[in-house]
Structure 1
Amino acid sequence: MVAPGSGFEIRINGRVVGALEEAFSELTITVHPAETVLRGSPLDQAALYGILDRIQSLGLELVEVRRLPGGRPNQESE
């Protein structure tokens, strides 16, 4: 379960550019040569599921989803 208000990072295989960027306008998008990194905060579980559903419906390949450090007090980053 995602802690309310925690930050997150989602990695997608390939480059999400142009019109696809608009589908994730509420997130910070960083495009690398082999992948795109989406970051957002705050986020509740329903919002995360909505973003993951959007990724699937656009036919994008999900690589990783992780909570960013600071999601919970005394939590170490992985």
Structure 2
Amino acid sequence: MTIEVSNAWKYFDDPDPAFTGTVGELVAAGDLVEVTYKRTNTDEKVQVYNDVLTAEYTANTNYQVTVRRVTSKSKRQVFRELL
């Protein structure tokens, strides 16, 4: 069973967005209790961070779980003066 974490991005200096993902097919809903998505680093520079978003869950011995970690991007916020 695979948990796939969705790609995410944010503007520099903004708070982290709500990270999301998809849980593969379970025999019964709630078999992994609660799945939460988070980032594994604290860097804030504007750049692409590979493999920093992950999922945490309560293990269930009936499943062999793989978490597909993905990329997070931090974007520079651009302001234009309107004339």
TM-score by length of 2: 0.29
TM-score by length of 1: 0.30
Q: Counting helix residues as a fraction of each chain, which structure ranks higher? A: 1
Greater CA radius of gyration, 1 or 2? 2
